[in-house]
Structure 1
């Protein structure tokens, strides 16, 4: 009788402890919670205005290796746009924003001029490719083959950088965001003209 009374009087505390335990131990549960928060619109990535002045450029020797072994040196591909996302499979905010990035990618008109580079910061390409396939994402996984300057990636996950056709950084965001919006789509399509 005493245990039943204790449970009834502390049900909200018990539920809170259960919820906190699930959130602490389950990356999938945290990802689901974060996706729910993102769906409110609070985390939309706003495309920069046309008047944005960027002073930092990407080093010409910045190099990535794709999941199939191809090297991509950004300095050799002027005129192209790069949507670069630094992420990891263990990072719930990274996992939460991935559907929006995949959806944005599927809507890009000039796919031959806009490259999506999903950089696995742990360089565990096999597990990242498995993650992408498991979730039916069309995004290609890359690893870094050169040093990443701190003005591009300082270690915060996720971080997204968009490099314009002249090799300048035209967008940078640290932390999770919902990229699947008309403003970002129009921005990328305009850059790739």
Structure 2
């Protein structure tokens, strides 16, 4: 008598392997798992270890939006700047997007807090299509100048927060939940600091 390969054990194993391969090779599936881990408290931004440091000349660091409007970090002195480098193919980037959007919505009307989400691939059309599909409304930019390694060394996602004096107050590499109450308080504290 021939044994069937469709035993309960084999089916469960095949489903487990299929799920594992999906998470391993499909960026949106991996992002979904990471997003779930963020919701339970993993991937918190570590703001307690951050020190304010003076970067290179901020006026030479520029970004351009889809309408070719150029924004210089030097022009944003006096504001808290949330700068995030990301890409549509990067699962950790996609995982943190809902939290970044919540943070953005919290401060969208605040003229003292500026958000710059920078597409590291330089393909604004593709990145904007992704943001539109997800109903994310934050501003999208491309790099329009050289970026010093102290700000972005190529690791995705990278998030930098500048204080009102243009100093780096936060430098995070990897996915994090930026909508956490602790991080929101951190942004409010930076905003309250005198220039």
TM-score scaled by length of structure 2 = 0.89
Cα distance in 2 for residues equivalent to 1:79 and 1:158:
25
> Residue 34 and residue 2 in structure 1: after superposition, are their counterparts in 2 closer, same or farther (change >3 A)?
farther
CA contact (8 A) 2:55 2:150 kept: no
Cα distance in 1 for residues equivalent to 2:9 and 2:144:
58
> Residue 78 and residue 62 in structure 1: after superposition, are their counterparts in 2 closer, same or farther (change >3 A)?
same
Shift of 1:103: 0.2
CA contact (8 A) 2:84 2:160 kept: yes
Cα distance in 2 for residues equivalent to 1:139 and 1:58:
26
Instruction: List structure 1 segments (4+ residues) > 6 angstroms apart after TM superposition.
Output: none
1:190 matched to which residue of 2? Answer: 189
Cα distance in 1 for residues equivalent to 2:95 and 2:106:
19
2:81 matched to which residue of 1? Answer: 82
Cα distance in 2 for residues equivalent to 1:129 and 1:58:
30
Q: Aligned with 1:4: secondary structure?
A: coil
Shift of 1:6: 5.8
Equivalent positions of 1:28-43 (< 5 A) are 28-43=28-43
TM-score scaled by length of structure 1 = 0.90
CA contact (8 A) 1:58 1:163 kept: no
Is there any run of 5+ residues in structure 2 with no aligned partner, and where? Answer: none
> Residue 136 and residue 3 in structure 1: after superposition, are their counterparts in 2 closer, same or farther (change >3 A)?
farther
Cα distance in 1 for residues equivalent to 2:152 and 2:31:
22
Q: Give the aligned CA root-mean-square deviation in angstroms.
A: 2.0
Shift of 1:19: 1.3
CA contact (8 A) 1:108 1:185 kept: no
Cα distance in 2 for residues equivalent to 1:46 and 1:3:
55
String of CA shifts for 1:38-58, please: whole Å, max 9, x gaps: 111011224337xx5433325
Aligned residue pairs, count: 191
1:122 matched to which residue of 2? Answer: 121
